[in-house]
Chain A
């Protein structure tokens, strides 16, 4: 098996005067060449920390990491020839440069021949709908356009392994789709390419990734193909319960016998609970709790498990909740 990225007992602790944060707590990971690998986890799970270590920005506190067979600690120069990184959700760029010029400049930092790269840049700008902006200054771009430009910066340098840290965060639906399409296209162009991306969006991981690792509090709690992960919740009955707003109910629901996991999100003034029931019989217990709460039932559905459900079961709570916490 050809391994593109490997980590062994990777650990990273951030120390400040006041406290210690364990961002990664023993990550063992193997990403195969040619894979689109997703790292999924709530805020603060350690996703960005993992990426930073792999792209030689940050040293681990202990453990090892290899990119394309090279040690990221000792062989960091060689590693840099083979990678590119793109982070989403940040407004970055040399504002005074034209878009085309900034992209060209980065290709030069990778020592690429100019003529060939210019054609490639034009092509990518076209595909991501930035042709018109090519001669505008970077500072004049909207943040979504900058994010697309940032992706192009990562792609033109022809990395063997591309690291994307939340590439579609804060993009509108259309732009996010453009980005995902481009990543898929780029991967299809050359089967030896590998991409590792982090995301909050279950749908994105489900749609884009061959394999996913779910990370929580610096540990991998599960990994496999999206289908395999969904398999883990296949036996559970997933019930969606829409209730009118009211007092906190989540803990009471989790305490009901036969409720394996529960999460909640709010939508249009209605609380949407997702319940994993280990047997259908648990539903009567749930209903008793709901009646006792005085909330009104707006809807109940039983449905197929999604990757999100797998996440809820493994992590014990929904991603949205973690964000609010």
Chain B
């Protein structure tokens, strides 16, 4: 019990630390530019490209909704994932405090989760803002009262767990790299392609499509679209009911968490074996 209290204290402090670090540069203006304008402009570029190519053919609106919801929630994954996984190398390279945190009794998972929470929260805010702005501007068929919120929230909760697990394992793997700049974005970039955020995964080449079908993010994207757009949603898995997609989301999330834990444990051991926690990196 007292151990739980101790970990809770550590978690709160880590959350505060993450907030201080990100609010250091996430002044409101920078937040708007990075977390709102960037994904918005990405969405609009895609929309314009699509309009030009399709010439305003029927069904355009539905695809736009597919695209925009994908991009909006994608920005959540991108910032959340990159924020969480970059935190570890930042603590090592920029602040040189990782070794002190690491040798403290605060559980490393607990610390990392707290450390990344502020960034996860601002990523979630950015997703909502992008979605609202795009819905209004493009007159997408999304109606606040028609959204299936229980489905949206439960799917997003599972996806959040999966993203956190993957980001932590990936972050610890990044300790292996001497030059750890930008790998956080690289990792989320790879996930982007195989998540069905901008195009259905069926258009991917065979191996990637199989890989994508093992990622919880695809089922999450599908459920987001179904919950937001209802029957208007373009379906990546027309054969599956909502329940079936949810089941797949649960299974892949659990598998992802198990795998992430294994990778994390392995990378942690590797870090101690090689002395990576306080390695001089090219920061």
Chain A positions within 8 Å of B, measured between CB atoms, are 14, 52, 55-59, 77, 80-81, 83-85, 90-97, 101, 104-106, 108-112, 114, 153, 157
Contact = CB atoms under 8 A, between A and B. Distances in A.
A94 B103 contact: no
A58 B278 CA distance: 9
B143 interface: no
Given A58-B272, A94-B20, A96-B24, 12 more contacts: A52-B275, A56-B103, A57-B103, A80-B103, A83-B103, A94-B97, A108-B12, A110-B6, A110-B10, A110-B105, A111-B6, A114-B9
Contacts of B96: 90-93
Contact of B10 (A14, A58, A95, A108): A108
Given A94-B97, A96-B20, A81 B105 contact: yes
A111 B278 CA distance: 23
Contact of B100 (A14, A96, A153): A153
Nearest to B91: A94
Nearest to B21: A96
A105 B17 CA distance: 8
A55 B269 CA distance: 15
Contacts of B21: 94, 96
Interface of B: 2-3, 5-7, 9-10, 12-14, 16-17, 20-21, 24, 95-97, 99-106, 111, 269, 272-273, 275, 277-278
B104 A59 contact: no
Contacts of A109: 10, 13-14, 101, 104-106, 111
Given A92-B96, A93-B95, A95-B95, A59 B272 contact: yes
Contacts of A111: 2-3, 5-7, 9-10, 105-106
Contacts of B104: 80, 106, 109-110, 157
Nearest to B4: A111
| Most chain A CB inside 10 Å of its own CB: which residue of B9, B20, B97, B104 | B104
Contact of B9 (A56, A58, A112): A112
Given A93-B97, A110-B6, A59 B273 contact: yes
Given A59-B273, A80-B103, A94-B17, A108 B278 contact: no
A64 to B, nearest CB: 15
Nearest to A72: B272
29 contacts: A14-B275, A52-B275, A56-B103, A57-B277, A57-B278, A59-B273, A83-B103, A85-B99, A92-B96, A92-B97, A93-B96, A94-B97, A96-B20, A96-B24, A97-B17, A104-B13, A105-B17, A108-B9, A108-B10, A108-B13, A108-B106, A109-B101, A110-B6, A110-B10, A110-B104, A110-B106, A111-B5, A111-B7, A111-B106
A295 B6 CA distance: 67
A85 B103 contact: yes
Contacts of B20: 94, 96-97, 101
A240 to B, nearest CB: 39
Contact of B16 (A80, A83, A90, A105): A105
Given A108-B9, A109-B111, A111-B7, A52 B278 contact: yes
A106 B100 contact: yes
B6 A57 contact: no
Contacts of A114: 9
Nearest to A55: B103
A88 to B, nearest CB: 13
Contact of B13 (A58, A77, A91, A105): A105
Contacts of A14: 275
A10 B100 CA distance: 23
Minimum-distance CB pairs A-B, first 10: A111-B6, A108-B13, A92-B96, A109-B106, A109-B104, A96-B24, A108-B9, A81-B105, A105-B13, A58-B275
Contacts of A85: 99-100, 103
A58 B103 CA distance: 11
Contacts of B2: 111
A85 B101 CA distance: 10
Contacts of A59: 269, 272-273
A215 B165 CA distance: 43
A95 to B, nearest CB: 7
A271 to B, nearest CB: 35
B13 to A, nearest CB: 3
A104 B278 CA distance: 22
Contacts of A153: 100
Contacts of A101: 20
B260 to A, nearest CB: 20
A108 B12 CA distance: 8
A58 B17 CA distance: 26
Nearest to A54: B103
A80 B220 CA distance: 39
B105 A77 contact: yes
A176 to B, nearest CB: 22
